[in-house]
Structure 1
């Protein structure tokens, strides 16, 4: 199936009488525009400060969310109060065939009854938008995937009211990086049969197409048996990752196995990293977007060697940390690997799911 190519859902739903009638008197739904970025950034900052005590979302991430480059697979709706201030933001993003990611952010400065009213209206809108994306793919059913901080009982209550069920907990982990982490000999050499290299790049700086296909194939195979796996086409995969403000081609590595001298290397694993901005203008870090190892290559320390590679790379760049997200209930032992490599949990989030029939 191809990716949805229909109009953005907010084009038809901002004036939806049902959504408008559900909002407080004088409040209105509007489409998201680039000029709204400062208000949206401030809204997200208020949410993070209220829940975690500090803000970490950068403005470029907000811009990437609502940029026209996101195309028709990402729908957004803002809610302005009777003083025209942005008080809430909802989005529905066609993440993969059969999976739509929903986000509803409501101003923490609102009194509880008003916040509940707005949240209920936006979850209703987001489900409609998700149904539109799924129908564009020719699907009868799609999974709605949303989230909440573990500490955010308010968001969890809204998700339950909207028919979602808590599905998973994710650990947001971080490891401090020091200058010594970049010194030769700090980490053990990879297994004798394992070679770690960056994704190859041509003279114009663009990555080798065959390498990109290899990375995509490795990750698709490595994650097939993981929680909530949904197949993603090569084009969808590249478009999504390149839209990340922290994307850098020189943060992608491939692990290969060479069984004997002169033998052709075969793919073993891949790590896709990114730049992680510092909060409040602080130092940058590195972030592990994906780390996958093929089942046939496991048992040779491939994942650990890839982790050591991005840590050493971060040290060489003068960064102070490496972050990642991991399934708290991962059956692969990933949590133990990260803990033994110096990672510790900074905070936790939850995935909440709901099955949606596109005929409703």
Structure 2
């Protein structure tokens, strides 16, 4: 029972249960499992969207699988009942996701086995990165007491709370003048593209630089190289190059990059309507207080309306002293539910 050389102790699972890396034939079952674990305590789904098969396929057998180790647990009937994914996100940063189908017998036992395996996989990842330690970063809905219990037992600690917010988009917001324009001295443009549709390298580097410098004083910030950054974003099947924007500001008569926003496509909901999602929005120190964030957000709202999308989602740090949630509330976003980040640090034995 291994995944890229990381063993799982077979005795840690109930008798007759098995574990193996998932493959093509498991995508549909894992998509349903993932969706089921994201429901609230009342059984209500986190979103109205059906199971997102595209994302699961990318993780299991697509480009996203190249930076991940994973195991699927099956019951004696051969049904997929649990899935663990360990993502080598960056040097010293390892994301851990353990999903167990609600109602599964022996769920505490299965979860404990997978969290133990994930820790070993995280240490292996750190060793290959030649770093002395790594942060294991996992998460859960704030109201999921089952997952919170498993995280605590596995040695994780809750370190942050996040608001998962959504804003409805009206078709009329695509029209010029309906949403406020940028303030004087601020302009927003899409990342430039070549004739073949691929983005201009200079603009990609500019977005990366602005985001890195904007987030330097944020919670859990770390340096991520440009190549790793763009490769990671492209792993997402809902990533689109024409969803990147740059905000330019005049500083002492010179136009400089003052902010950036990267968004992606939200999978269709039960009614078949797509949405947009703000993956990153950053405002550089030199541009703060000039309405750059509002200008970028109005841009993505108008873009969603032009694409006939009905919502824009985002995540905001509920514990931040910046009061960013106040800005989003003022612009029409509302909290759908809360999530939590749980961390654990592990050392590489030498």
Work out whether the TM-score is over 0.5. yes
| Pick aligned residue for 2:213 from 209, 221, 226 | 221
| Pick aligned residue for 2:169 from 167, 177, 196 | 177
| Pick aligned residue for 2:5 from 7, 12, 17 | 12
Q: Deviations over 1:315-351 (max 9, x none)?
A: 1111111110000012222111111111000111000
Distance 2:35 2:180 in 1: 41
Deviation at 1:180, TM superposition (A): 1.9
Deviation at 1:72, TM superposition (A): 4.4
Deviation at 1:71, TM superposition (A): 5.3
The number of residue pairs the alignment matches comes to 345
Q: Deviations over 1:159-186 (max 9, x none)?
A: 0000000011100001111012122222
Distance 1:72 1:315 in 2: 35
| Other structure's SS at 1:348 match | strand
Q: Is the 8 A contact 1:276 1:287 kept in 2?
A: yes
Paired residues for 1:44-63 under 5 Å: 44-49=34-39, 51=41, 53-54=44-45, 56=49, 57-63=51-57
Distance 2:140 2:251 in 1: 45
Higher helix share: 1
Q: 1:320 to 1:68 in 2, by over 3 A?
A: closer
Residue 34 (structure 1) aligns with:
24
Q: Mean alpha-carbon deviation: is it higher for 71-80 or for 138-147?
A: 71-80
| Other structure's SS at 1:211 match | helix
Q: Deviations over 1:79-125 (max 9, x none)?
A: 111111111000110112211000000010213xx000000000000
Distance 1:38 1:104 in 2: 17
Deviation at 1:259, TM superposition (A): 4.5
Q: Does 1:308 align with 2:298?
A: yes
Q: Is the 8 A contact 1:76 1:91 kept in 2?
A: yes
Q: Does 1:269 align with 2:263?
A: no
Distance 2:194 2:311 in 1: 29
| Pick aligned residue for 2:225 from 225, 228, 233 | 233
Residue 84 (structure 1) aligns with:
78
Q: Deviations over 1:245-270 (max 9, x none)?
A: 2111111100011347xx55211000
Distance 1:221 1:97 in 2: 18
Paired residues for 1:62-81 under 5 Å: 62-70=56-64, 72-81=66-75
Q: Mean alpha-carbon deviation: is it higher for 139-148 or for 47-56?
A: 47-56
Distance 2:121 2:222 in 1: 19
TM-score, normalised to structure 1, is 0.92
TM-score, normalised to structure 2, is 0.95
| Pick aligned residue for 1:244 from 228, 236, 248 | 236
Q: Does 1:97 align with 2:86?
A: no
Distance 1:98 1:183 in 2: 45
**Structure 1: segments with no counterpart, 5+ residues:** 1-8
| Other structure's SS at 2:130 match | coil
Q: 1:256 to 1:165 in 2, by over 3 A?
A: same
| Other structure's SS at 1:39 match | helix
Distance 2:101 2:125 in 1: 27
Q: Deviations over 1:4-31 (max 9, x none)?
A: xxxxx712235x4xx2101000111101
Deviation at 1:285, TM superposition (A): 0.7
Q: Does 1:293 align with 2:283?
A: yes
